[in-house]
Structures are given as C-alpha cells and as structure tokens.
Structure 1
Amino acid sequence: MSKSYEHLPGASGKARFFRPARYEASEIFSGNAPRLIFEDEVFELENISLRGAGAIARRRGDDGIAPGAKGVLRLTQQGRELFLGAARKARSAYGSGGTSAGFELEANSFDLDWLIRENASVLAREAGRAEPALEPDIAYKTFCADVAAYVGGYLLRIQKFVAPIEDKLDDEERGDIARDLASAAETEWLDLVQEGNRLTAEIHEDKQQRIGYKSYTERTVSQMLLNGPGWARCYYKPAGYPGDYKIMNYGYEQRPEGETVAQKFLHLLGMSASRPIITRMEMVASLVADYANARSSGGDAEFAITSVGCGPARELEDILDETPENVRWRVNLVDQEPAALDYAYERIATMKGRDRLNVTGLNISFREMLRPSADNAAFANNDVIYSSGFVDYLNPLLAQRFVKRLYDFVKPGGQVVIGNVNNLPTGMMWPLEYVTDWSLYFRNENEMRAMAGEIPGAKVSVVSDPMQAVFFLVVEKPL
C-alpha cells in the first residue's frame, strides 16, 4: 500500500545533511583509477563524488599540506591530465596504510561519466605501448589455438544450425540444446583443461612467465569464453573480488545461464571445469559428519562447528543427511559478504532437519578473526572449524597464522579442516588463473602440511577430494 507524502520519513541525525553519492574508485574505474595530485602531493584515488574525492598517500607521517589549504587538484592517468580545478584539502589523517585525505572542489564538479569514459580510453590507448610481456612458448600457443578451434567449432554449429531458428525457441528449449552440446563437448574439453593445467604448472612459479602466459590467454581464449555468464562473472568480478557466493552457486547448480544458446553452452563448459566446487563441498561435509559420527555413540549429541568464508553454506544439507537425527549442531557462519549470509539463512530456512541447527551469522573479515578480542569468543571450544575456499587467497605466512588461530579455537580432540585448490593437472589452475585472472595459491601436499608447521603436537593429515582437484588439511588437537 502506498504512503501519502506526509507519511514518508526523512533521514535523521547526520544523515539529514545530504551528500552526493560517493563511489569506490576501484569499481567505477575498472580497477585502474586515475592518480590524484594536490599541488605537489601525490595520492591514490580511493573514492569520488560530484563535489569531492578521498585518497591515500603511501608515505610515513602526516607531514604534507595541512587541512584547510586551497590549491590545484588534478586527476591524471598514464601521465595524461583528466581534470584540473581549484580544491580545498578538507581533512587529513595518518594511519598504518599511509596518509588519507579528503578534498572538496571549490567552484566546479567532477563529470563522472566523462571521467570514466576518458580514463578507459587512455588505458586502452596506452596498453598497446606498454612493455610487452614475456611470450609463451610454441607449445602453449599451439594449445591455445587448439582450444579456440575446438570451442569455435561448436559455436559455428550453433551459428549455422540454431541461430536461424533461435527466436522461435523458448528459454527451456535453448537450455536443452545447450546441455546436449555441452555434454557432447565435455570429454575432450576436460582433456584440454588438464593439458592447460599441465602446461601452466610448469611455469607458474616464474612471475614474469606467468604474466606473459596470462596475457596471451586473455587475448586468444578468454575473449571467446567471456560470452558465457559464468566466465564473465569470474573475470569481471562485479562483487569486487573473485569467488563471491553467486559464482559458487553457478558451480553448485550446473544450470545453463544466459540468453542465447551460445551463451548457455559457454557457461556450461565453464561449469563442467568447476565441478570440484561440488566435490569440495561434499568432502568437507563428509569430514565434519565423520567427526560427529565417530563421537556421538548412538545417543543424543550436540557439536559446535564454524565455517569461515561460508558463502552459500550448502554443505549443511549434506551434514544433516550424513548424521543421525539425534545429532544437533551449533553453527557459526562467517563471511565478509552480507549477501552471502542472507542467502545462506534463506536456504537454511527451507532445509529438511532445520530444527537440528542453531545458526549464528557473523559478518566479519579474516583480519578480525586474527585479532584477539571479545568478539572472537563465539569461536571458542569448537568441535570443528572448517574453511574450504578461503585460505587459497592467503600467502604462506598469513595462511600459517590463520590455521594456528583456528587451531586455538577448537577444543581438545577437535579439528581444523582447510580446503585448498591444488596444482595438479586434475585441478583448476588453467581455467581460474589464466583464463579468468582468478589468482589463488595452488598448493601441493607439502605446502598444505606447511600451514600447520607451527603447531606442535597436532595430528596432521592431507586428503584429497575425489576429483583430485582440492587438498584438505586436517589438523587434530590432542585430547
């Protein structure tokens, strides 16, 4: 029911003082924002509105121009000037990341649409003049040509035989055709994925070669595959980072997405390569269920578990299915993405056996988990803490600190379970890192064990999912 104007609420408190919308610079400038220069101070642009901007200078000490000073503000990209105008330095503060500052324009405003377009234009023009990346060897170039020819062959079939009658098909019929084509292509496609994994694993630790191979893959293979919604979401990362819960749901659901048969077909190709997302989820559920079944002794029991980087939390369904009805669960779901927690709660509400779950959602970052605080008391005395897709993003030192921190939270006899993509040909290195620029730490078995290297007395083991794409580190605390 609509409200009359006299019943429409306004804002309260400080929110009553209207400010133009402020945008994250990394998002609206496609991850490569202009540089902000105020007089002779150089800053990285962090956010921008019609009338001002926030920025940070990576230097020690706040010894620059004092707040309140007026001067000339410029935005530049690749040495090209995009904006020049009078501004005032409204604020300045020194912190651990450098000196942050806010600027207000004096007489004019930013034309954001023009800035976004011009910034992109400069980047596109200058990219061709950059120092060329190290070229891949002939074996990899041949491989990329084989991939393009294989996928292109299916797209040609679609163009010749399906496109002329596609407007007569409904969405379900388009999906059925895409499924048939993807099923026919799958065996040889997965062989190509394994070959890509093998070729890139040989050079992956060499940063310069990795950059060159990624650049070549983007120019030759990625541009063909990005017409598929799954590939595009992984590559463009609209949530601001890879691996958001919607990408995970694509992998779990394995449904044709997109408008056309070609888009749906390309999407399903990507999903066939991402099936380890499903086996990873099933594996972590089995490990948690095995722990509970070994300790419940047939009677009523309750176990406390925490999922760090929970995403859609689909494993809870399998955990309920694989444990007796007299086993109950206290569950902490931890994620930095509120939308992921919203989705998880909505899904849990429809689960069979929902009354066996007592769920708490925690919207916190991994750094907060590393920090000793009263807020972290929720994790204390857990039976199992697991993270099946988060440590992949952490460097060896941070991963080791993180695993040790989780280990501190589990009770004697409890376990920490860590899933991490591996660097084997059976894994996902090529489609993730090289096709979609989804950078992870692809670890071998020794590197998995090294994450528990600073935990004396723990029982440490490494197991794999059935597809040999993901390793699981299991760290058990002695009784």
Structure 2
Amino acid sequence: MTEAAQPHVDPTSPDSESPRSHEHSRRPRASDPPPAEYVDLDGGSGRDVFYRPDRYLRADLGLVRVNVEVSLDGERRSCELFDVSQNGIAFEWSGEQVPALGAEVERLTVQFDDHEAYAGLAKVSSVRHVGAITLVGVSLLDTLMNIEDVLHLRDVKAWVAGSKGEKLRAREAAWFVPGLHAFKAAVSELRLFLEDGQAQLAELEASLPSHILQAQGSPAKDALVQRMREGFSAELVSFSNQVDAATREASRSEWDALREFSQRQLHPLLMQSPWMHRARHKPLGYPGDFELMNGLYGNHFSGATLFARAVNLAFVSTPAAEAVRTRKDLMKRELGKALDLAAPERPVRILSIAAGPAQEVYEVLREREELEGHVEIVLFEQDRRALSFAYARLSRLVKDRWAGRVKVTLLHDSIKRLLLGSTVFPASGEYDMVYACGLCDYLQRSTWVKLCRTLYGTVAPQGTLYVGNMVPRNPSRWFMELHLDWTLVYREHEELLELARAAAPGARLLLCEEATGVNPFVALTRD
C-alpha cells in the first residue's frame, strides 16, 4: 500500500517495489539474542530511517473475516482488502471508473469479524495496476486504525482453531479416557501418599546426623531401613499393585491416555528413585542393562534423599523385581545340580545366553564347597561392559577358589549372529545346561522359536535348555510400560509350551516356576 505522503508510482516502472508484508520482514530469527540494553537496539538504515507504519497483506490476517465498504461519488461498493496499516489501506477496485488521485472517499468502513476498525473519510493516494487487478490505496483522514487489535484477534482465532485450542476441552486432552475410575482414583491416591511421604521423610532426614544414611553396618541405619521396608515401602508396593489391577480394565488402545494421566500425576516423584530413573533413561541404550540388574541384586537403599531411597527400596521390591531375584535363585539351584554331575573323566559344560552380570554363576561358585570334576562355563553377551563386569569378579573368584577346575569363557557377540547358527560356541552340542533368563521376553514368536531351536542344538544328551518368559499377569507391568517405556512380550504357560514344541519337537518339556510365579521357565531336555 502507498501512503498519502508519497508520490504515485507507476507499477510498470523498473524502480517500483512489489507489495511486501511486514509479517515477513519484521520478525527476528529465533537464534537472535534479545538486546540487553536500550542503547544496543539497532535503528533503521537507508530508506528505513524514515519511519512508515507497518503494513499487512490480507493473507497475514489469517482466519479474520474482512469487510471493506467504499462510498465514492454517491456509489457504495464492497471491495477485497489487499493490505492494511495504521493510516491507510489498499483494496481491489472492481468498478469501471478508476478513482482519481486525490479524490475524497465519502465514507470508508473497514470491519474485521464483528469489530469495526474504521468508519470515516479517506483520500485516494495511489492507483496501481498489478496484472488485471487495479489496486487503490487510500489514506485515512479521521483517525488512525488500531491495527494491533486486529493482529491480536488474528492470533486468538488461530490458537482457537489449532490443536492447542482443542486441548482446552477435556475430551481432547491426551490424558483423558472415559471411565476407568478405579485407575484414576488409585493413581491420585498414590500421588497423595507419595507427596505426604516426601514431606514427612524430609522432616525426618533433617533431624538425623548426616552420616547415618551413608554409614555401613550402623544399627541406626539398619533400623531405619527395616522401618522403611515394613512401612512406607511396603505401602508403596501395595499401592503399585492396586494401580496395576485397575489397568486391567483398560483396553490396549487406552494405554496412551493412561500413560499421560499417570505421568502427569506421578512421574517426578517416581523418578527420584535411582533404579527407576536408570530404567527409564536407559543410559546403555537398551532396557534391563547389567547395572539395572545389579540394582535388583543389591544396594536397594540408594538415592539422593531419604525419600528417594524409600521409593527405590519399594520399586526394587515390586513383583517383577522380586521375580528377577527368584529366577536367579532358580537358575542357581539348577546350576548346583549340574555341578553335582562334574566328574574327572568329563567336564560339565554350561552356557548362559544374555548373561548380564552373571549373578547366579558368581553366587554358586562363591557358595560352593567342593567340585568333583572340571567345569566349563560360557557367558554369551552382546554388551561388552556387562562382560567386563562379570570378568572382573569371576576371574578373581575362580583364581582364588577354583583354579584349574573351573574355566570361564566370555563371548562378545550378537543375538543376530546367534540366530544364524550355533557354531559361535565352543563344544557346541555338548552343553549340559543352557539357559536364557531375560532375553525371550523381547522376541516375537518366530524369532523365539528360531533362537530356541538354535540353543537346543547346543544341548548334550540328557542336558537341558531353560528359557524364561514373564507372564501377562506381571503386577509391575503398569509402571514398566507407563513410566519406564519398558515393554515385554508376555506369554502364558500354554504359549510357552506351544513355542517350545515348535522349536524342539523331540524334547521333553517341563514348566518350572520361580517363587513369585511371574517369570516361569520352560525346560527342554534332550533324552
């Protein structure tokens, strides 16, 4: 738009400028730092030193409706807005007689939605021809137009029409799900319980000497841990089980809303537990890493505050966490039985798949009193850091107690290569015990069968393959999926047996339960 104070410019002239919208020229880049002081502000340069009101194209006004009424020479007509500023507008002229420069517009009315921004006299200040369109620019004579109000109206309408505006409606919120009142009540009550516990434990912590929480073997600390275990942490585990039971009423399609609801209520409180925080953020890049497993085997009372320690103690006491420890004990017993078969004439061979920290191997070798023969143990693991951890403590233990009788071999290879065949293992086909505790929960059916078939091929006559898989009733499932982004492929007993038959049709099958019943194993024995 050309303002009244400026001379008419022929749009066909090489010096004429195409109409520009201030919306595309005035916005600073997001990366530009804000000025720190008034004296740091940049002024205009060149022609921009002379201030002109910003102008806005029709497209810059977005969803705002615009109505321009022009009364000229006794004739009133509606025109399409081209651009607008504080002191003038330009519009498309549809009449045959083009207004003359300097002609007075008897009445100009400009309306944005239901807001009348200007009604009064105007003066023709420019006439331009852009292709087949005639643009008439007029200056406002009675008053300036409050263009900022129009821009605010535009922004509000854009927000209301966009997705953000929809979120103000409860039914459009990410956390909304109809019904499921038991889940919502359980989560809300858990939040109140945690908030109360945080306040009360902070008060208790402030009253304790600073060394109590760090001391080892302190009677005061032992009493505190026992009190937390039997009181706050036990209550928290009970609340957790109630929330999980309530999620069973939801369909899988509703779990995204449950996740948003639960995280909004509980996430900052739960993430104060170091174990929960690590499980959520997966610093080694995968769920259930060996350090996370170590956090289930020991150092349960850890955290930055007494509240964090109590929450940590609770969540490493939940059913899935307990199942990890009891499945370790189950495999330890089976390892003990295998070691009982050791004889001078033939070594016992054991293979652990996705061995992690190999806690069960470490414990059985540490607690064992004697061995009648030689033992060869192979630990297969994709994570080199897990093998490093297992090697550091097993090598010392073997050297100190079982030198010459126990040999530990560590294999750093991938499950993908393992699926190609069993040739990666030394003494393939001669292992008395092969086991995979926490791997098959992540595999789809076809991969489960293929891996199981490969592993069964490594088993010696009378040897057994143990494959573990958590069951759907896992009471820790709600926080694993909603807060830790930790999803397993759960299987009932019947499916475990079905898959095992498909993998090894000639095997003798037996279901083995650890103490919690959350993480059963199927045992495949080669007769």
TM-score, length-scaled by structure 2: 0.60
Computed over aligned residues only, the root mean square deviation of the Cα atoms, in angstroms, reads: 2.9
- Paired with 1:212 and 1:453, the residues of 2 have a C-alpha distance of 38
Secondary structure of 2:386's aligned partner: helix
| Residues 1:415 and 2:460 aligned together | no
For residue 234 of structure 2, what is the amino acid of its counterpart? Answer: T
Q: Give the superposition deviation at 1:276.
A: 2.0
Match of 1:285 among 332, 335, 340: 332
- Paired with 1:462 and 1:202, the residues of 2 have a C-alpha distance of 29
Q: Give the superposition deviation at 1:385.
A: 1.1
Aligned to 1:304: 349
Q: Tell which deviates more after alignment, 381-390 or 351-360.
A: 351-360
Whether the 8 Å CA contact 2:462–2:525 is kept in 1: the answer is yes
Match of 2:490 among 437, 442, 447: 442
Return closer, same or farther for 1:208/1:332 CA change in 2, 3 Å cut-off: same
For residue 363 of structure 1, what is the amino acid of its counterpart? Answer: H
Aligned to 1:156: 199
Aligned to 1:339: 385
Q: Give the superposition deviation at 1:230.
A: 0.6
Q: Give the superposition deviation at 1:400.
A: 1.5
For residue 264 of structure 1, what is the amino acid of its counterpart? Answer: R
Aligned to 2:501: 453
Aligned to 2:451: 402
Aligned to 2:96: none
Provide structure 1 residue ranges, at least 5 long, that are not aligned to the other structure.
1-124
Secondary structure of 1:451's aligned partner: helix
| Residues 1:171 and 2:236 aligned together | no
Q: Give the superposition deviation at 1:299.
A: 6.7
Match of 1:369 among 418, 433, 436: 418
Aligned to 2:174: 132
- Paired with 1:249 and 1:404, the residues of 2 have a C-alpha distance of 30
- Paired with 2:329 and 2:394, the residues of 1 have a C-alpha distance of 17
Identity %: 21
Return closer, same or farther for 1:456/1:322 CA change in 2, 3 Å cut-off: farther
| Residues 1:431 and 2:479 aligned together | yes
Secondary structure of 1:350's aligned partner: helix
Return closer, same or farther for 1:128/1:243 CA change in 2, 3 Å cut-off: farther
Q: Which has the larger radius of gyration?
A: 2
| Residues 1:329 and 2:375 aligned together | yes
For residue 288 of structure 2, what is the amino acid of its counterpart? Answer: G
- Paired with 1:366 and 1:128, the residues of 2 have a C-alpha distance of 44
Q: Give the superposition deviation at 1:419.
A: 1.6
Deviations 1:208-245, CA, capped at 9 Å, x for gaps: 22333233222222321101111100011111111111
Whether the 8 Å CA contact 1:369–1:376 is kept in 2: the answer is no
Return closer, same or farther for 1:165/1:286 CA change in 2, 3 Å cut-off: closer
Q: Give the superposition deviation at 1:344.
A: 0.2
Whether the 8 Å CA contact 2:339–2:375 is kept in 1: the answer is no
For residue 194 of structure 2, what is the amino acid of its counterpart? Answer: V
| Residues 1:233 and 2:278 aligned together | yes
For residue 501 of structure 2, what is the amino acid of its counterpart? Answer: G
Q: Tell which deviates more after alignment, 464-473 or 231-240.
A: 464-473
TM-score, length-scaled by structure 1: 0.66
- Paired with 2:272 and 2:435, the residues of 1 have a C-alpha distance of 35
For residue 142 of structure 1, what is the amino acid of its counterpart? Answer: A
Q: Give the superposition deviation at 1:246.
A: 0.5
Return closer, same or farther for 1:286/1:166 CA change in 2, 3 Å cut-off: same
Match of 1:390 among 428, 435, 439: 439
For residue 419 of structure 1, what is the amino acid of its counterpart? Answer: G
Provide structure 2 residue ranges, at least 5 long, that are not aligned to the other structure.
1-163
Return closer, same or farther for 1:159/1:358 CA change in 2, 3 Å cut-off: same
- Paired with 1:325 and 1:126, the residues of 2 have a C-alpha distance of 72
Aligned residues: 349
Whether the 8 Å CA contact 2:233–2:310 is kept in 1: the answer is no
Aligned to 2:252: 207
Whether the 8 Å CA contact 1:417–1:475 is kept in 2: the answer is yes
- Paired with 1:382 and 1:218, the residues of 2 have a C-alpha distance of 46
For residue 290 of structure 1, what is the amino acid of its counterpart? Answer: K
